[in-house]
Structure 1
Amino acid sequence: MCGIAGLFYPGTPKPVEPARIAAMTDALAHRGPDGSGIWTAPGVGFGHRRLSIIDLAGGRQPMATDDGEITVTYNGEIYNFAEVRAELEAKGAHFRTAGDTEVLLHGWRAWGPELLDRLNGMFAFALHDSRRQSLFLARDRMGVKPLHYVELADGALAFASELKGLLAHPLLRRELDVRAIEDFMGLGYVPDDACLIAGAKKLPAGHFLLVERGHPVPQPRKWWDVDFSQRAKGSARDLQAELTDHLRAAVRSRMVADVPLGAFLSGGVDSSAVVALMAEASPRAVQTCTIGFDEAGHDERAHAQAIADRFATDHRVRTVASDDFALIDTLVAAFDEPFADASALATYRVCELARERVTVALSGDGADEAMAGYRRYRFHAAEERVRGLLPAALRRGAGALGAIYPKADWAPRPLRARTTLLALAEDGPTAYAKSVGVTLPAIREGLYNAATRRALGGHRAERRYIETMRAAPARDGLDAAQYADFKHWLPGDILTKVDRTSMAVSLEAREPLLDHRLIEFAATLPTSLRIRGSEGKWLMKKAMEPYLPREILYRPKMGFVTPISAWFRGPLADDAANLARSAVLATWFEPAAIERLASEHKAGRAEHGRTLWQLLMLEKSVARLFA
């Protein structure tokens, strides 16, 4: 894995100072500690920080064709590069290196942007074509690898793997976009169609940007999308066999590396499935690692150990204390933008543990989104069935009842009648958008000061979810919810979390369960093969029955749980109270409203832990940006 950065002048090809590119790439040194490179030409400059994974001796970047016509700087892995290389060699291409980077150079010459359709991998890259006088930026289908860009005052288009690469350029104005603050407060992360720094953008997943000299910077173009509108034909048994083939191929393709390779093992279905298939394909013991917690209700070490024993892995465990909040400032530095998914602390710790022995680690991320594994999918599908049965008048009545029904935030969602009644009164997209949020609109409205409410002009974080679900290529509400999560939650939260925490310790994380062929297949599965009764990921669990014990496949999902609510009633109670006195937060929020939240939470009169965590992460992120 690597870090990339660069500049391109679409208008006059002004000279690019190598020192400017060096400053941008130096800000990304953690992404590539094994080497660096800079290349400049009139009107363009590329930088690269390398984490050596494949072709350790010959993969230096930026890399150019023999004639110097095409140059690339690239972050990622192309898992099928050998097949694409063979196709290019059959067309007459001559390769000087043994890795995947050179495939991009010859592939661009042969196919132009259609090269992307042939790639199976995770990537973000920039390619300069001197003959066309163009810059081509591209990002992989799922958004595993990030890419930020911005137009600067001197006419340059700057790009970098992380926002901190752009911030290293002195012409980037550090003005904050208040809409991104609303997005963060609503969702817990700044989504891919927004950025905390006004004017900066993220290239969306499955998109490319082709900038030609003499023309203004265009809008990105979509080159891939997932389609939930089709249904696979065949029996459950046949589809199960096909799914197993996809899973096996996805894992094996991601086991190619010239450096030590291992896997994260939580003891859940997804990571256990990856480890099982790795063990099947590996002649040596698979290196696995687990993070445990000193709270029994959140500790999965025993389950992980059972899988490690079953497949004879070389397994290591580290226990994290329940008060492991010393990482907060480390995470703020890693993410740049505020990020409120507190499981990032545990993810950082497991990456840190893995990096002690391996350079590449496979994860189980993506299966919940692809196979409908989250509980919220089951709730949403059930609510959609009820909506289809109830007349509109009865649904409005349910909403009126919900408005006066007592809250029960402590209870499991099926027992929270208020939440269900209010959701039934709304249409599916609106209800689902609220269910994936963190701080509800009414609470946010009460926190903002008058100036912020005016500046937002009605902008709401949930709107993107609602619009995406209504326009989704989908056959039912479950399809639409999964599609929206692929567009927002997956790249904005899950993949951002894994990328930043793994790259912070110079570890390459690979997600086999996000192989695009697997995702395209999963999107066609009938709803009954994704959710059956109380079981999500039903077909995947059936497919893994020959590999994994039932007590792993069918136990309740746990995941990384961080006790932030307890922290704000204990060791971080003073931090919560100090938020009301923050000059940073006072720019957008009413101090008295924050003080009320902190007081109610500490006294146990209400549950505001996640909102307080958001405010803390926002304050620290903004303060760091302007330090």
Structure 2
Amino acid sequence: MCGIAGLFHCGTPKPVDPARVSRMCDALFHRGPDGSGIWTGQGVGLGHRRLAIIDLEGSPQPMHAHDGNAVIVFNGEIYNFRELRRELEGHGAKFRTDGDTEVILAAWQRWGPDCLEKLHGMFAFAIYDLNRKELFLARDRLGVKPLFMAHLSDGSLAFASELKGLLAHPLLRREIDPLAVEDYMTWGYVPDHRSILKGVEKLPAGHFRLLRHGETPAPPRQWWDVDFSQRKSSKTSDLSAELLFRMREGVTSRMDADVALGAFLSGGVDSSSVVALMAESSRDPVTTCSIGFDVAALDETGYAEKVAARFGTDHHSRIVDPDDFQHIDALAGMFDEPFADASALPTWRVCQLAREHVTVALSGDGADEAFAGYRRQVFHAREEQLRSVLPSALRKPLFGGLGAIWPKADWAPRPLRAKSTFLSLAQDGAEGYARSLSVIPPELRFALYGDDLKRELGGYRAEAPLIRMMRDAPARSGLDRAQYADLKFWLPGDILTKVDRTSMAVSLEAREPLLDHRLIEFGAQLPHRARVRGTQGKWLIKHTMERYLPEDILYRPKQGFVTPISDWFRGPLASEARVICSAGGLADTGWFDERALAKLADDHISGKSDHGRILWQLLMLGKSIKRLGIGL
């Protein structure tokens, strides 16, 4: 795993200052502490920070092709590089190293952009072709590895693995995009179609860019998508057998490393399944890591220890204090953009523990999105059944009216918290799912916004791109569309961003075997009953893994990492909540209504309402803006 950065002059190919590329790479030191390199040519500069995983001594970057006609910087891993290497050798390719980087170069020279279809793995890379005088930027199918880009005032395109790499360039404009503020307040992160700074872009997952000197920069082009419009009609036993084959394929392909390798183990279905399949294919005990909390309701270490004992792993666990708020500033620094998924704190903690024992760790991320494991997906499938029998003319007035008068009872038992469900049912499927996925609904967001921000938004609502994505999805049902949105919007924007930044902050490579694209494509073709049965999501995975895992691991309620942010804002962070919501804080930006913010903080601190999640978003927004050098 590595960090990459570079500069490319889209117009006249001016000289590139190596010192500027070097500063951009230095900002990414944490991504690659094992080595660095810079290469510059006329109108182009490429930089690299290396975390050595495969071919530890023989694959320095930037790397030149065997014939010297192309140069690459690469972040990621290609899991099928040995098979691909043999294929390319059959076409006459010559290799000097034993790693995957040189294979990408040879694949580019053989197939051009079509080489991407051949690559199985996680990656973001830049290739400069000296013959064609063009730059090729590419990102993997699901967006496991990030790539930020910005057009600068000198006519160059700057790119880097993280925003902090671009921030190291003196010509980067630091102006907040108000549309990104609306996006962030809606989702708790800035999705891939936007950046917190105007003029900064993210190369979307499954896309590439091809740029030539002297030509207008071409927009990104999509090279992969997941298709939910087809259905498999096989028997359950056949589907289960194919699923197990695909899961084994994903796990074993990601166990190739020349450094110590292990796995995160939470005791949930997905991480336990990965560990079970690792143990099955390994002669030595698998190294596993988990963290727990000294609050029984938050602690899952007992389940993790049960799985570890079952498969004889070399297990490491640590109890951490759920009151970890003293690390908020460090957390904000990892993400650059505002990021309010509070589970980032415990994710960082388990990455720290893992890095004490291994350099590579496998995770269970991706199965919920691909196989309908989220509760919201199961609810959406049931809501879609109701929408199919109740016409819109009846649903909108009935459920819209109920939603308007129903109290927002966060404190009540779950069955009595019906307000969101009623409001969702009053809308079509895409609008309803966007509401369920959002952290703050539009009526509450706009009550917090000041006149300046409302004017700058010009009627824009953050839900619109997601709704459009769902309506245009290659899908046959509402459940398909919800999963498509989770894979294309939520996964790269939240989950993969969280894991990439927290793991790279400690120089740990995280690999996601359940995001093998062949497994994802298989899951997209499953019939509904193989995904959801009754209230049980991810049905086929649980059914298939019964031969490996006990019932209390497979069928207990999903928990996940929990951070007690509501309690923090009634205790040690109460003063921070008041500061960020008052004059001198976010109120001074003109984005928010000062009285509305003050009331939000007061109502939460007094216990009148639970606004902990919103206060956390506001706090992380304020800290991120300060770190970007835009004072509050």
Q: Using structure 2 for the length normalisation, give the TM-score.
A: 0.98
What's the CA shift for 1:413? 4.6
Provide the secondary structure at the position in 2 that maps to 1:75: strand
| Corresponding position of 1:131 | 131
| Corresponding position of 2:534 | 533
CA distance in 2 between counterparts of 1:218 and 1:550 reads 52
CA distance in 2 between counterparts of 1:525 and 1:357 reads 38
| Corresponding position of 2:605 | 602
- Contact in 1 for aligned 2:381/2:479 (Cα 8 Å): yes
What's the CA shift for 1:398? 2.1
CA distance in 1 between counterparts of 2:420 and 2:21 reads 51
Which one is further off, 53-62 or 573-582? 573-582
Deviations 1:545-579 (A, max 9, x none): 11000110001111001110111111111111111
- Contact in 1 for aligned 2:195/2:201 (Cα 8 Å): yes
What's the CA shift for 1:520? 0.2
CA distance in 1 between counterparts of 2:248 and 2:555 reads 21
CA distance in 2 between counterparts of 1:412 and 1:136 reads 53
Q: Partner amino acid for 2:2?
A: C
CA distance in 2 between counterparts of 1:584 and 1:46 reads 39
Provide the secondary structure at the position in 2 that maps to 1:61: coil
Deviations 1:195-222 (A, max 9, x none): 0110000000000000011211111000
| Corresponding position of 2:444 | 443
Taking only the aligned residue pairs, the percentage that are identical comes to 65
Which one is further off, 337-346 or 405-414? 405-414
CA distance in 2 between counterparts of 1:553 and 1:569 reads 36
| Corresponding position of 1:521 | 522
| Corresponding position of 1:292 | 292
Q: Partner amino acid for 1:386?
A: L
Deviations 1:54-96 (A, max 9, x none): 0001010000023321000000000000011010000000100
Q: Partner amino acid for 1:599?
A: D
* Pair 1:615 & 2:613 matched: no
Q: Partner amino acid for 1:539?
A: L
Provide the secondary structure at the position in 2 that maps to 1:327: helix
What's the CA shift for 1:444? 1.1
Provide the secondary structure at the position in 1 that maps to 2:97: coil
| Corresponding position of 1:243 | 243
Deviations 1:373-393 (A, max 9, x none): 000011111111011111333
CA distance in 2 between counterparts of 1:271 and 1:28 reads 29
Deviations 1:30-52 (A, max 9, x none): 00000000001111000000000
| Corresponding position of 2:628 | 625
Provide the secondary structure at the position in 2 that maps to 1:607: coil
Provide the secondary structure at the position in 1 that maps to 2:480: helix
Alignment of 1:271-420 (within 5 A): 271-395=271-395, 396-411=397-412, 413-420=414-421
Q: Partner amino acid for 1:321?
A: D
Q: Partner amino acid for 2:80?
A: N
What's the CA shift for 1:407? 2.4
| Corresponding position of 1:465 | 466
Pair 1:57–1:449, CA change in 2 (3 A): same
Q: Partner amino acid for 1:621?
A: S
Number of equivalences: 627
| Corresponding position of 2:592 | 589
* Pair 1:14 & 2:14 matched: yes
What's the CA shift for 1:412? 5.3
CA distance in 2 between counterparts of 1:416 and 1:427 reads 20
Provide the secondary structure at the position in 1 that maps to 2:325: coil
CA distance in 1 between counterparts of 2:10 and 2:69 reads 17
Alignment of 1:223-234 (within 5 A): 223-234=223-234
Deviations 1:430-455 (A, max 9, x none): 11101111111111111111011000
Provide the secondary structure at the position in 1 that maps to 2:499: helix
What's the CA shift for 1:590? 1.6
Q: Partner amino acid for 2:514?
A: L
CA distance in 2 between counterparts of 1:564 and 1:392 reads 38
Q: Using structure 1 for the length normalisation, give the TM-score.
A: 0.99
Which one is further off, 362-371 or 317-326? 317-326
Provide the secondary structure at the position in 2 that maps to 1:159: strand
CA distance in 2 between counterparts of 1:584 and 1:136 reads 42
What's the CA shift for 1:104? 1.0
Provide the secondary structure at the position in 2 that maps to 1:219: coil
CA distance in 2 between counterparts of 1:290 and 1:130 reads 47
- Contact in 2 for aligned 1:584/1:622 (Cα 8 Å): no
- Contact in 1 for aligned 2:46/2:73 (Cα 8 Å): yes
Query: Structure 2 unaligned runs (5+)?
Result: none
Deviations 1:230-273 (A, max 9, x none): 00121011001000000011000000000000000000000000
* Pair 1:431 & 2:432 matched: yes
| Corresponding position of 1:204 | 204
| Corresponding position of 1:556 | 557
| Corresponding position of 2:153 | 153
Query: Structure 1 unaligned runs (5+)?
Result: none
Alignment of 1:28-39 (within 5 A): 28-39=28-39
| Corresponding position of 1:456 | 457
Provide the secondary structure at the position in 2 that maps to 1:545: helix
Pair 1:13–1:540, CA change in 2 (3 A): same
What's the CA shift for 1:320? 1.3
CA distance in 2 between counterparts of 1:66 and 1:554 reads 53
- Contact in 2 for aligned 1:290/1:318 (Cα 8 Å): yes
Q: Partner amino acid for 2:616?
A: W
Provide the secondary structure at the position in 2 that maps to 1:480: helix
Alignment of 1:64-143 (within 5 A): 64-143=64-143
